[in-house]
């Protein structure tokens, strides 16, 4: 009985295996004889959309224009507190602008510190790469999360 059942299963599976191989070979032959579609046919596409979508998109554009930036990363090169800290920060920002004329330095104040931060980076990886570039001139520089300006288009 066991031998008969085992032989039946063996026969059924071998038949399925034989048909599946034949089927795959047939599909491959069909795929190789597909018509040439390298010549693109001219056509037109008509898009139907609700007019409210345009108003939502316009509201989003107005909202983003009203924002003064979005969260990103900058490299902080200086911070100081004290009587002459604003003058020191301005001098440090000026020196940075002379060393790296294409880049922007930002002076900010969070009580009691004046800070000089540079760059507008969307990712931490970009900011750290830039920090490595300026590390010889600013060995105490570090990456910090900050609100950055929108990039120029």
pLDDT score recorded for residue 51: 83
Length of the chain (residues): 153
Neighbours of 68 (CB within 10 A): 9
pLDDT score recorded for residue 13: 64
Domain that holds residue 94: 68-148
Statement: the pTM of the whole predicted model exceeds 0.75 = no
Q: In this structure, is residue 76 part of a structural domain?
A: yes
Q: In this structure, is residue 31 part of a structural domain?
A: no
Mean pLDDT by 10 residues, the chain (153 residues): 73 61 52 59 82 88 79 94 92 94 92 94 94 94 91 65
Cα-to-chain-centroid distance, residue 52:
29
Phi-psi region of 69 (alpha: psi -120 to 50; beta: other; left: phi over 0): left
pLDDT tens profile 23-62: 455 555 555 555 565 666 678 888 888 888 889 988 988 8
pLDDT score recorded for residue 12: 65
Q: In this structure, is residue 36 part of a structural domain?
A: no
pLDDT score recorded for residue 78: 95
How many folded domains does the chain comprise? Answer: 1
Q: In this structure, is residue 22 part of a structural domain?
A: no
CATH number for 138: 3.30.70.1070
Residue 64's alpha-carbon distances to 3, 13, 22, 72, in angstroms, are 76, 63, 59, 15
Across the chain, the runs of DSSP E, i.e. the strands, are: 70-80, 105-110, 113-121, 142-148
pLDDT score recorded for residue 27: 55
């Amino acid at each position: 009985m066991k031998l008969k059942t085992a032989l039946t299963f063996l026969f059924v599976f071998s038949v399925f295996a034989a048909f599946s191989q034949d089927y795959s070979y047939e599909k491959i032959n069909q795929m190789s004889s597909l018509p040439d579609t390298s010549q693109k046919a001219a056509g037109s596409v008509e898009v139907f959309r609700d007019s409210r979508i345009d108003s939502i998109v316009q509201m989003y554009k107005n909202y983003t224009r009203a924002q003064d930036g979005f969260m990103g990363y900058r490299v902080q090169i200086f911070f100081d507190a004290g009587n002459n800290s604003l003058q020191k920060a301005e001098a440090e920002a000026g020196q940075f602008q002379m060393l790296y004329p294409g880049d922007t330095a930002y002076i900010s104040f969070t009580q009691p510190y004046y800070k000089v931060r540079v760059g507008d980076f969307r990712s931490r990886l970009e900011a750290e790469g830039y920090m490595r570039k300026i590390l010889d001139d600013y060995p105490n520089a570090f990456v910090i999360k900050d609100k950055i300006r929108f990039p120029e288009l």
